[in-house]
Amino acid sequence: MNKNDIFVVVPAYNEEKMIKKTINSLHNEGYYNIIVVDDGSNDRTYDILKKCDVIVCRHVINRGLGGALGTGISCALLYEPKVIVTFDADGQHDPKDIEKVVHPIINEDYDFVIGSRLMDKEQLKNMPIVKRLGNWGLNFLTYFMGGYFVSDSQSGLRGFSYNGAKKIVKQLKSNRYEVSSEFVVLAKRNNLKLKEVPIKTIYTDYSMSRGTNIITGFKILVKLLIHKLG
């Protein structure tokens, strides 16, 4: 696997505490084609990024996870990489797992690969019960909305083939967290070949404070229903 063929997209909003460590961890694994989208941060995130060896896209206002990923993927497509990987900024992912996500795209002709935190029983035990139940609920909702049934629709570590990313990003409507479910729905709508692979999650107090919660899950539900009815 030639890591120069891979572009990693990292959405970041107020991540001054972790962004440099996350970028360094990717560099240490040989990933240098990194696009960080500063999604309207009001802390030192952008100042830190200016000193890092990455491509920086900056939103003047906060658009949300979906907006950041849409910008990052669109930017990556300009370089025509074989694979585009999305990677959370909060330190919850292990860069070593990128190879697991990329392998089926390069070697097995998959278009979309999700790194699932729920396929490994030991990892499942480590996930807080509230997050576990919330993820399962959103998995069923994603399926109901017309997507594939997957074990971890909300995972932030995922990979797209160049053609798969090109098809999906043109149709993205979501600006916020509901984008994770929309990816799966659009994959099914476009008949993209999808696979899940097990990954591990690094749970820290910081990573647990980020991402989705019950309130966010309810907002995702409402927005997905609006998209469905619209």
The interaxial angle of helices 65-77 and 162-171, nearest 10 deg, is 130
How far apart (Å, rounded) are the C-alpha atoms in residues 34 and 95?
12
CA 27 – CA 8 distance, rounded (Å):
11
The answer to whether 111 and 83 are in contact (CB under 8 A) is: no
How far apart are alpha carbons 158 and 101 in whole angstroms? 7
What is the model's pLDDT at position 144? 87
How many Å from the N-terminal Cα to the C-terminal Cα in the chain? 42
pTM for this one?
0.89
pLDDT score for 215:
56
- Provide, rounded to the nearest whole percent, the portion of the chain with pLDDT above 90: 70
- Please give the Cα distance from 149 to 188 (Å, whole number): 10
Residue 205 has pLDDT above 60, yes or no: no
Give the dihedral sign, CA 211/57/180/172: positive
* Count of residues making up the chain: 230
Determine which of 28-32, 92-96, 206-210 has the lowest per-residue pLDDT on average: 206-210
Residue 109, sorted as left (phi over 0), alpha (psi -120 to 50) or beta, turns out to be left
**54-76 burial: b if 16+ Cβ within 10 Å, else e:** bbbbbbeeebbbbbbbbbbbbbb
pLDDT > 60? residue 169: yes
Token pair recorded at residue 195: 């696979």
Q: Which of 36-50, 65-79, 111-125 has the lowest mean pLDDT?
A: 111-125
Q: What per-residue confidence (pLDDT) applies to 218? A: 58
How many helices (H) and strands (E) are present in the chain, helices listed first? 10, 7
Residue pair 29/98 in contact (Cβ under 8 Å)? The answer is yes
For residue 7, the tally of other CB atoms under 10 A from its CB is 27
What pLDDT does residue 225 have? 59
For residue range 44-60, list pLDDT tens digits in order. Answer: 999 999 999 999 999 99
Q: Check if the beta carbon of residue 72 is closer than 8 Å to that of residue 57.
A: yes
The pLDDT value recorded for residue 209 is: 53
pLDDT by residue (tens digit) across 93-148?
Answer: 999 999 999 999 999 999 999 999 888 776 666 677 777 777 788 898 899 888 99
